[in-house]
Chain A
Amino acid sequence: MKPAVPAPVCIHLNGKPVAVAAGSSVAAALAAHGDCTRTSVSGTPRQAFCGMGVCQECRVQVDGLSQQTGCMVQVQPGMRIHDARDPAATTPGVPRTADGPDQPRTEDDLCTPAAGADRLQDADSNSTEVLVVGAGPGGLAAALAAAQAGAQVLLLDAAAGPGGQIWRAHGGTAHAQAQRRQRQLQQLGVRQHYGLRVVAALPGRLLCEDSTGLARLITFQRLVLACGARELIMPFPGWTLPGVFGAGGLQALVKSGWPIAGQRVVVAGSGPLLLAAAHTIRRAGGRIVALLEAAPAQHLLRFGLGLLNDPARLWQALCLRAAQWNLRWRRGRRIQAALGTQHLQAVVLDDGLQLDCDALAVGDGLLPNLELPRALGCELQLMHGQQVVWTDARQQTSQPGIYAVGELTGIAGARRAQLQGRSAGLAASARPVSGQNWRLRRENAFAARLARCFARPRIDEPAPQTLICRCEDVCWSQLRDQPDWRSAKLHTRVGMGACQGRVCAPILALLKRWPLPASAQPLSLSPMRMHTLLALQDTDMAPASTLATHPASTQEHPAS
């Protein structure tokens, strides 16, 4: 059933008034009226890639505030957007040559020396007993359980609405499950803040910023982290061309209005996400040219057989597959290169086959978003070959009063996230956590099977000119002989760009076996506006208040 089409919204794009679909992201709106949004440091065109605010490729100026990720900002009536190809669009207060109705704003009226302090939200509304970061299935479940147990709860998410990645709103219409929970939370009096991003972590407090640059310092007694995961995409020649996206990235972008109708799309990589992404793309009118699953057929068969004890999931998989019965599906194949000059035109597979296409959605697996847990000092552990947050049986991390749920604890999907979320919500409200053990065990088994059956990301050496760092255009030949991450940073600028290594560090961790950079500073969560830092004037590293202790918070020692 197609959702009702909402009335279009009028905005200004690069000085010209245009009408875009309501509920679109800024990135999607730009794509509907042009192709690239920025030029890389070596002069190549770039546009949105990861679709979830990580890669920083889609940065534009919105209402005078530059360097904002367009994929995370929803269009509002009257919004003025300038893409980053105009260098003056990146610099506040620099008058540009007039370009029609959109006169350059001189910032004097907005920026006085006191402006920073004024941009800090009123303190009283920003303290809570339980703070939940992330409104995906795990976070929503945690907030709900805590609120039902009587705790005072505040829920925040960087996205424009609830649902996280997996229950993301499509075309402005909220996902049914997310919507239901959002209503329940409203009825329970839970404060929900969307479009709010955590930028710094301190003991007992999180500094957050919204897309207008307004800062909030939120004080909490207990914290539930449900930050979810992002995609790993291993590089290949041409992966930075406009038209190449993460698989989950294109799915997210399409849901936020990216114009994919009529385009020929290749979906590649490994994991169940590919099928879900292909499904979304098809629903929006994209033509799937081929789906390339790198895992060999027998692994996929084993995965399918493993679903036999899980009727609901098996049904979901069969439905997805059936909906795409005429999909050209090739197993054991990877992308060798993406071809094109200003935009993607074709892909070449590792068996030499060339497929003409307009878009490529590629995903090599998921990575938990460990930045905030690490900044808070939560210990990690290795699980199925991946670093994840360690938790005890009640989802508490190595930091008392801080809980982690969902993909942070290992890639396992929405169901486990909800089970864990419920446990954490109860534990954070000092309620006993009961039962659910057999369900959790089943989900843990599913997670193990996911890790076993789907293909490991390729770690063969890339071609020398393949870019590894997209922000600073650093290629493999520059990095191959570097001894460690810090040396590589200092001498090639890898990881020094806007994404601060979120895209390239995991790639290099696999290619060079470098560990994640050691110390996690409290501000490893930037970017943020400089004036947001003014909120931290009276803070120091000592805790703002003692964390409330209660019977549920006795801590087991993390496994070494």
Chain B
Amino acid sequence: MKLDLAIVGAGIVGCACALAAARAGLRVQVIDSGRIGAGATAAGMGHLVLIDEDPAECALARRGLELWQAYREQTALQWQGCGTLWLAQSAAQVDAAQAKLQRMRAADWDCEWLDATALRAAEPQLGHQLLGALRVSGDATVYAPAMAALLAQQARELGVHFLERTTVDQLLPGALRRDGRTLVEADRVVLAAGAASRALLPQLPLRARKGHLLISDRHPGFVHHALVELGYIDSAHGDAAESVAFNLQPRPTGQLLLGSTRQMDVTDSQVEPRMLAALVQRASAFVPNLGRLSAIRAWAGSRAAPHDGRPYIGRWPGPAELWLCTGHEGLGITTALSSAELLVDGLLKRAGALDGSAFDPARCAA
């Protein structure tokens, strides 16, 4: 029996697509060169965050967060409704935060402004020089590999087959080739392989963006919210070869997860000590006591950066039935479920909750 859909990539995005497709009645197989959820999904911060600078991305993130609510009670996901504090260091950033506040309020999103005094009360570990913060209460942190595993399990129950530790080496019309020789025939192929998608579709304007993270021993109660500097948005949306932006997250274990760095076009996952130094340097400006925390591990991973800051969700122009669901940069966890919904709506040509035209891969050919 021929497959309706072959998905390349079993990260959180690929697993979400598999489940959504299976629920729509499609016959699906998922192939990953490693294990389910063990790539970028496991390397990231697991931050469910509403990024609202770009309206299309904002709608995708918002829909994603809505869909995430159904999973809050799953203990394996370690859902932590800590909210995010966007930290303002300068008058310009205060203005930017106020503008963000207005936009979010207009969209009925729960948020408030904390002045310097209120901020200090909410987070005693923050440095005195901060002018205030925007608190977004609906943001949360999750353990993403467990979500990928959960989605995969639900997909398997609907008949989806997962093939792990298998490399797809070529995309062909109506099929893909794996392990150098086996053909997998499918009506359509979905490329959801993150940074590795480029290897199979070199024309796709997708760049690897390396990131480093550092995690501490248990220091419970050190901070209570995900703390992100407003400059993070410039780092994520910008094009710089290298950038560092403060992003500190309390984990449910009491550990502190510290990010974030971006290095364009660096594809290895070797830990570079100077990037960790840069992380700590930047973070110390926001959290003076951070240096005293005990760090137990560092790692690096690869985001998939699209050319214009928006993921590619939809059909790749051309004769082959090749579809994309990749290029999520730092928003893959937040938008996994909404991206999958959008993709399957497109596959079935049905109207859905979102207008996906901003993510149409056809914009690359233009």
Q: Do A and B come from one complex?
A: yes
| A residues whose Cβ falls under 8 Å from a Cβ of B | 41, 59, 65-67, 87-88, 90-94, 107-108, 110-113, 115-116, 119, 200, 202, 207, 213, 483-484, 486-487, 490-491, 496-498, 500, 519, 521-523, 526-531, 533-541
Docked Cα-Cα span, A93 to B289, in Å, equals: 7
Q: How far is the CB of A305 from chain B (nearest CB, A)?
A: 47
**Provided the pairs A521-B270, A537-B277, A537-B281 are in contact, do residues A111 and B292 lie with their beta carbons within 8 angstroms?**
yes
Question: Which residues in B have their C-beta under 8 angstroms from that of A90?
Answer: 217-220, 254
Q: Which residues of A contact B217 (CB under 8 A)?
A: 59, 67, 90, 498, 527
- A533/B295 in contact, CB under 8 A: yes
What residues on B are CB-neighbors of A111 within 8 Å? 288-289, 291-292
Contact of B270 among A93, A500, A541 (CB under 8 A): A541
Q: How far is the CA of A500 from the CA of B270 in the complex (A)?
A: 18
Q: List, in ascending order, chain A residues with CB within 8 A of B277's CB.
A: 533-537, 539
**Interface hits, B171-188 → A, CB 8 Å:** none
Minimal beta-carbon separation of B333 from chain A (angstroms): 15
Nearest residue, chain A, Cβ from B128: A108
**Which chain A residue shows the least CB distance to B269?**
A519
With a cutoff of 8 Å between Cβ atoms, the chain A residues found around residue B220 in the complex are: 87, 90-91
Interface residues, chain B, with chain A CB atoms under 8 Å away: 35, 37-38, 42, 124-125, 127, 145-146, 149, 214, 216-222, 253-254, 258, 270-274, 276-281, 283-285, 288-299
Query: Which single residue of chain A is at the shortest CB-CB distance from B253?
Result: A41
Q: A66, B291: Cβ atoms under 8 Å?
A: no
User: A490 to B284, Cβ gap below 8 A?
Assistant: no
Contacts of B219 in A (CB 8 A): 66-67, 90-92
Interface residue from A200, A487, A491 paired with B273 (Cβ < 8 Å):
A200
- Min Cβ gap B348→A in Å is 33
B35 contacts which chain A residues (CB < 8 A)?
A: 483-484, 486-487
**Which residue of A is nearest B36, CB measured?**
A487
| Chain B residues with CB under 8 A of A530 | 214, 216, 258, 280, 283, 290-295
Report the nearest A residue to B144, measured CB to CB. Answer: A490
11 example contacts (A-B, Cβ-Cβ < 8 A) are as follows: A41-B253, A87-B221, A116-B281, A119-B291, A491-B146, A521-B270, A521-B299, A523-B276, A529-B294, A536-B276, A538-B274
> Are the CB atoms of B281 and A527 closer together than 8 Å?
no
Q: Say which residue of A88, A202, A500 sits within 8 Å of B296 (CB atoms).
A: A500
Of the candidates A67, A207, A540, A541, the one having the most CB atoms from chain B within 10 angstroms of its own CB is A67
User: Are A67 and B149 in contact, CB atoms less than 8 angstroms apart?
Assistant: no
User: Is there contact, CB below 8 Å, between A92 and B292?
Assistant: yes
Is B289's CB under 8 angstroms from A113's CB? no
> Please, how many angstroms separate the alpha-carbon atoms of A530 and B277 in the complex?
8
Contact of B294 with A94 in the complex, beta carbons under 8 Å: no
Residue of A486, A523, A539, A540 with most chain B CB atoms under a 10 A cut-off: A523
The one of A112, A115, A490, A519 in contact with B145, judged by C-beta atoms closer than 8 angstroms, is A490
Which residues of B lie under 8 Å from residue A65 when comparing CB positions? 292
Residue from the list B216, B273, B274 in contact with A523, Cβ < 8 A: B273
Measured in the bound complex, the distance between the Cα atoms of B216 and A527 in whole Å is 8
Task: Say whether, besides A90-B219, A112-B288, A66 and B281 are in contact (CB < 8 Å).
Answer: no
Q: B292 and A526: CB pair below 8 A?
A: no
5 more A-B residue pairs beyond the given contacts A536-B276, A538-B274, with a C-beta to C-beta distance below 8 A: A67-B294, A90-B217, A92-B293, A202-B273, A486-B35
User: Contact between B42 and A490 (Cβ–Cβ < 8 Å)?
Assistant: yes
Asked if residues A93 and B125 are in contact (CB atoms below 8 Å), the reply is: yes
List A contacts of B290 (CB < 8 A): 530-531
Kindly report which residue of chain A lies nearest to residue B284, judged by CB atoms: A113
Across-interface contacts of A113 in B (CB, < 8 A) = 127, 284-285, 288
- A266 vs chain B, min Cβ distance (A): 32
Q: Within 8 Å CB of B283, what residues of A?
A: 530
- Given A90-B218, A521-B271, A540-B274, is A107 in contact with B292 using a C-beta cutoff of 8 Å? yes
In the bound complex, CA of A97 to CA of B301 (Å): 41
CA distance A491 to B288 in the complex (A): 33
With A91-B222, A116-B280: A521-B298 Cβ-Cβ less than 8 Å: yes
8 residue pairs, one from A and one from B, having the closest CB atoms: A531-B291, A536-B273, A67-B294, A537-B277, A93-B289, A92-B292, A536-B277, A490-B145
> Quick check: A526 and B284 within 8 Å, CB to CB?
no
The answer to whether A533 and B125 touch across the interface, beta carbons within 8 angstroms, is no
**Centre residue among A67, A483, A527, A530 by max chain B CB count within 10 A:** A530
Q: Which of B38, B127, B214, B293 lies at the interface centre, i.e. has the most chain A CB atoms within 10 A of its CB?
A: B293
Min CB gap B234→A, angstroms: 21
CB distance A527 to B296 under 8 Å?
Answer: yes
Taking CB atoms, residues of chain A closer than 8 Å to B291 are 111, 115-116, 119, 529-531, 534
Residue of B nearest to A84 (CB): B218
On chain A, the residues within 8 Å of B298 by CB distance are 521, 523, 526
A523 adjacent to B297 (CB under 8 Å): yes
- The smallest beta-carbon distance between A31 and chain B, in angstroms, is 22
Nearest opposing residue in chain A for B149, CB measure: A491
A93 to B120: give the CA distance in the assembly, Å: 13
Complex contacts, B42 vs chain A, CB 8 Å:
490
Question: Are A533 and B276 neighbours in the complex by a CB distance under 8 Å?
Answer: yes
CB distance from B141 to the nearest CB of A (A): 16
Whether B292 pairs with A491 at a CB distance below 8 angstroms is no
Q: Give chain A nearest CB distance to B229 CB in angstroms.
A: 14
Asked if B292 and A533 sit within 8 Å, CB to CB, the answer is no
Most buried by A among B145, B272, B273: B273
Chain A residues with CB under 8 Å of B37's CB are 490
Chain B minimum-CB-distance residue to A535:
B277
Minimum C-beta distance from A120 to chain B (A): 11
CB within 8 Å for A533 and B297 given contacts A111-B288, A483-B35: no
From B145, B283, B289, B292, residue with most partner A Cβ within 10 Å: B292
B152 to chain A, nearest CB (A): 12
Residues of B within 8 A of A491 (CB): 145-146, 149
Contact of B293 among A119, A496, A529, A540 (CB under 8 A): A529
How far apart sit A87 and B280, CA to CA, in the bound complex (Å)?
24
A529, B293: Cα distance in complex, Å: 6
Residues in B whose Cβ lies below 8 Å from that of A115: 284, 288, 291
Q: Compute how far the CA of A461 lies from the CA of B80 in the bound complex, rounded to whole angstroms.
A: 36
Closest to A114 in B: B284
In the assembled complex, which residues on chain A have CB atoms less than 8 Å from the CB atom of B216? 530
A540 to B281, CA, bound (A): 16
Given the complex of chains A and B, what is the CA–CA distance between A93 and B288 in angstroms? 10
- Chain B residue at smallest Cβ distance from A88: B221
Shortest C-beta distance, B222 to chain A (Å), equals 5
Give Cα A94–Cα B223 distance, bound, in whole angstroms. 10
**B38 to nearest A CB, angstroms?**
6
Residues of B within 8 A of A523 (CB): 271, 273, 276, 297-298
Give chain B nearest CB distance to A124 CB in angstroms: 21
In Å, the complex CA distance between A250 and B214 comes to: 33
Partner of B272 from the list A110, A487, A541 (CB cut-off 8 Å) is: A541
Which residue on chain A has the smallest CB distance to residue B300? A521
| A116 in contact with B284 given A92-B219, A536-B273 (CB within 8 Å) | yes
Chain B, residue nearest A119 (CB)? B291
By a CB distance below 8 angstroms, the chain A residues around B214 are 530, 533
- Least CB distance from A395 to B in Å reads 28
A531, B292: Cβ atoms closer than 8 Å: yes
Judge whether A91 and B281 touch: CB under 8 Å: no
Given A528-B294, A533-B280: A487 touches B38 (CB 8 Å cut-off): yes
